[in-house]
Amino acid sequence: MRFDRSRLTGIVFIISIFFIAGCLGTGTQKPTEYYLLQPLKASIAGQGVALGEGTVLGMGPVRVREYLNRPQIVTRTSTNEIRLHDFHYWGESLSNNFTAVLAQNLSILLSTDRILIFPYRSKQELPVNYQILVDVIRFDGEPGVEATLITQYYILAFEENEKKQIVTRQPIFSKPLTDKSFDTLVETMSELVGDLSREIAEQIKNASQ
């Protein structure tokens, strides 16, 4: 049997390429990082007027635009262009995280634990006095520039089996970003949810007085 040196050389070369590629790839894969919005610090509880005894809030539904409600964190590169980041993910759905943080913030700001998150678990839940509905229109940031939250929210009041819409607002909140890190971005986004929470809490306080 004849020995084909050129064929053997070609096989060795191909194997070497795969080996080198494997070595280069090992340890260079960027790990995926996960983030969560954080509520306000509990130390601010009790500031201002608390809700009347027995008042129950219904939180939600909160609707987040589809371009935002995805696993990847979304940033903005221009007015019309966004970017999805494959190695920077939300730790849970943004809609659920946003709802939970907003509810926890209101609990702290209004000094109450009588907040039900939509959908209510059963018909035997406590009757709701005020319901907060939120549409998240924009919630993103341009790294190193600023983060922005635009929502439209509604507050409904329930009195003697009647439902009335008492507040409709479309606030815009923004804060500068001190650097391009995702830690800073998410921390600032949490602060924006805090700003929205303070406004909603103030509206509810006024309505309940």
The domains of the chain are located at: 36-208
- Is 23 a residue whose pLDDT tops 70? no
CATH for 36-208? 3.40.50.10610
Q: Yes or no: say if 95 and 105 are a contact pair by the CB < 8 Å rule.
A: no
pLDDT, tens digit (0-9, with 9 covering 90-100), for 136-181: 999 999 999 999 999 999 999 988 778 899 999 999 999 999 999 9
pLDDT, tens digit (0-9, with 9 covering 90-100), for 188-197: 999 999 999 9
Dmax over CA atoms of the chain, in Å, equals: 100
pLDDT, tens digit (0-9, with 9 covering 90-100), for 85-137: 999 999 999 999 999 999 999 999 998 889 999 987 765 566 889 999 999 99
Q: Burial level of 164, CB count in 10 A (0-12/13-18/19+)? A: exposed
- Dig out the tokens for 124 from the structure: 């035997």
Q: Would you give the distance in Å from CA 83 to the centre of its chain?
A: 16
Q: What is the pLDDT of residue 82?
A: 93
Q: Yes or no: say if 35 and 90 are a contact pair by the CB < 8 Å rule.
A: yes
Q: What is the pLDDT of residue 20?
A: 47
Q: What is the pLDDT of residue 133?
A: 97
Length of the chain: 209
Q: Yes or no: say if 200 and 51 are a contact pair by the CB < 8 Å rule.
A: no
